[in-house]
Amino acid sequence: MPLYTRAGYQILSPLHTAAEPYLETQAMSSTSNRTTLNITGMTCGHCVMSVKRALGELEGVTVEQVAIGSATVQYDPNVVSPSAIAEAVSDAGYTATAN
């Protein structure tokens, strides 16, 4: 048992110390907030696709759900703001308001 424990520790320890800083960095840089935009001017599935594409092109944004009249996204507040997200939707030809 002591031999097994010692061998296991020696194998796992370098992996643990190497992985830990990486995971901490990831956690700090991938803070994610959620916002739902109210969008006017959307009328059909084409509009849904256009809004989805516009949001998907934004750095720091993960599209969660897009429907006629609204879009819910997760975003990294260190990278992008709700108003910038709304602006991207407006650039695509719709009127968006961030909640």
**Binding to Cu ion, residues 15-44 (CB under 5 A):** 43-44
Cβ at position 26, least distance to Cu ion in Å: 38
- Are the C-beta atoms of 35 and 73 separated by less than 8 Å? yes
**47 makes contact with Cu ion (CB under 5 A):** yes
Q: In angstroms, rounded to a whole number, what is the distance separating the alpha carbons of residues 31 and 40?
A: 29
* Choice from 14, 28, 46, 59 touching Cu ion (CB under 5 A): 46
**95 makes contact with Cu ion (CB under 5 A):** no
In order, the DSSP letters of 70-95 are: EEEEEE-TTT--HHHHHHHHHHTTSE
Q: Which spans of this chain sit near Cu ion (rule: CB under 5 A)?
A: 43-44, 46-47
